Amino acid sequence: MRKLLNGDKTYRGILYASAFFLIILLFGFFITFIFESSESLSKFGFGFLTGKQWDPVDGQFGALPFLIGTLITSFLALLISFPVSLMIAVFLSEYFYKGFFHNVIKTSVELLAGIPSIVFGFWGLFVLVPIIRDFQVAIGVEAYGVGIFSSAIVLSIMIIPYTASISREVITMVPSDVKEAAYSLGATKYEVIRKIILPYSGSGIFAGALLALGRALGETMAVTMIIGNSNIMPTSIFSPGNTMASVIANEFTEATDSTYLSALVEIGLLLFIVTALINLIGKYIIKKTTRFS
């Protein structure tokens, strides 16, 4: 018994030490960002967040175009990918929950998650961009091809596995006796999915979408290759733009001036804060919906 208790204390000590290490690591990231961007923070203040001009030659640095570009690209990608991900999850868990087609689709989704982002970038550049350019010509807008819309489509493909995998897992955890009771009362497959399965697993599906959104917010290489790398405020979803991650990737090696480098680090700090805020808000919503479901 004493050995068992000692083992339990050791196990708890390891857990506490791991949690403490993660907190210190997160706090260290934040302090490092604050320290390295202190020059930009003191020079531009809140105007850095609201500024629309990014001109390293004149020493003007405003992050609003990149913040807007990041949010539009990520949320548009989530909007495109979520219905597809949900259909895949329902298809795998309720229609083809075993067998050859189940294994093929499940393996394809898992392989999609493992493809490097630069491969998606090349695919978007050589395949998707010409298609988008033809589409823009057809609807009468400026035919850039590259831009926010193109990068959002590539991002949507990249984040499908995250929402689909988690949604499938939570859908399979819906109690079978609840579904069988609905079937015994004469409910159709569609009615069971719409009125029982989706409401029951709603918080888990939302958690999967939140994970996918976090993945989209921080994506760098694929977005950098096809977003157009324009430092001006986007005027439409077809405009070229930049995200916070892509502007850091593009300009970090060129930042020889200390203010320029500090401004790029502050963009990294802003991306860190935005990602943390979105995750905290999402977890709060999950907790509320779980409590009242």
Which residue's entry shows tokens 């069988």?
Answer: 180
Does 274 have pLDDT greater than 50?
Answer: yes
Residues in CB range of 259: below 8 A, 6 or more apart: 39, 40, 43, 59, 61
**Can you tell me whether residue 264 is helix, strand or coil?**
helix
Total of domains in the chain: 2
Using the 8-state DSSP alphabet, how is residue 95 labeled? Answer: I
pTM of the model: 0.86
Q: Counting every residue, how long is the chain?
A: 293
Do residues 143 and 274 both lie within one domain?
Answer: yes
Do residues 82 and 226 both lie within one domain?
Answer: yes
Confidence class for position 281, pLDDT limits 50, 70, 90: confident
Do residues 22 and 166 both lie within one domain?
Answer: no
Do residues 127 and 192 both lie within one domain?
Answer: yes
Do residues 17 and 66 both lie within one domain?
Answer: no
Considering the chain, what is the average pLDDT of its residues?
85
Using the 8-state DSSP alphabet, how is residue 96 labeled? Answer: -
Mean pLDDT of 262-266: 92
Mean pLDDT is highest, among 28-37, 183-192, 260-269, for 260-269
Using the 8-state DSSP alphabet, how is residue 229 labeled? Answer: -
Phi first, then psi, for residue 116 (nearest 5°) are -60, 150
Do residues 247 and 185 both lie within one domain?
Answer: yes
Cα gap 287→145, rounded to integer Å: 41
Do residues 69 and 160 both lie within one domain?
Answer: yes
Do residues 148 and 29 both lie within one domain?
Answer: no
**CATH label of the domain that carries residue 77:** 1.10.3720.10
Least confident of 1-5, 22-26, 277-281: 1-5
Cα gap 66→51, rounded to integer Å: 10
Residues in CB range of 215: below 8 A, 6 or more apart: 158, 159, 162
Do residues 101 and 198 both lie within one domain?
Answer: yes
Decide: 149 and 132 in contact? Cβ < 8 Å: yes
Mean pLDDT of 12-36: 83
Cα gap 97→106, rounded to integer Å: 10
Residues in CB range of 141: below 8 A, 6 or more apart: 236, 238
Does 74 have pLDDT greater than 80?
Answer: yes
Mean pLDDT is highest, among 58-62, 74-78, 139-143, 194-198, for 74-78
Predicted confidence (pLDDT) per residue in 147-193, tens digit: 999 999 999 999 998 888 888 888 888 888 888 888 888 888 888 88
Confidence class for position 292, pLDDT limits 50, 70, 90: very low
Residue type, 83: P
Mean pLDDT of 126-136: 92
Q: What's the domain range around 25?
A: 1-36
Cα gap 186→182, rounded to integer Å: 7
Does 240 have pLDDT greater than 80?
Answer: yes
Do residues 12 and 118 both lie within one domain?
Answer: no
pLDDT on residue 290? 58
Do residues 260 and 187 both lie within one domain?
Answer: yes
Do residues 142 and 170 both lie within one domain?
Answer: yes
Here the contacts of 135-143 (C-beta below 8 Å, separation 24 or greater) are 136/238, 141/236, 141/238, 142/238
Integer angstrom CA distances of residue 91 from 20, 191, 198, 206 = 41, 15, 13, 18
Does 4 have pLDDT greater than 60?
Answer: no
Decide: 227 and 146 in contact? Cβ < 8 Å: yes
Nearest to 155 by CA among 106, 126, 120, 114: 120
